[in-house]
Amino acid sequence: MDPIAMDLAVLADYLLTKAAESPQGRAAQKIDLDHEQLRMTAIGFAEGGELPEHKNPGEAVLQVVRGRIRLTDATRSIEVAEGTLARIPNGVHSVTALEPSVIVLTAIALPAAG
> Does the pLDDT value for residue 56 go beyond 70?
yes
Strand ranges inside the chain, DSSP E? 26-31, 38-45, 50-55, 60-66, 68-73, 77-81, 85-87, 92-97, 101-108
Q: pLDDT (tens digit, 9 = 90+) per residue, 72-90?
A: 988 899 999 999 999 987 7
CATH 3.20.10.10 is held by the domain 8-108: no
CA distance linking residue 5 with residue 1, whole number of Å: 8
Confidence (pTM): 0.87
- Confidence band, pLDDT 50/70/90 cuts, at residue 1: very low
Check residue 3 and give its pLDDT: 55
Q: pLDDT (tens digit, 9 = 90+) per residue, 8-45?
A: 999 999 999 999 999 999 999 998 876 667 788 999 99
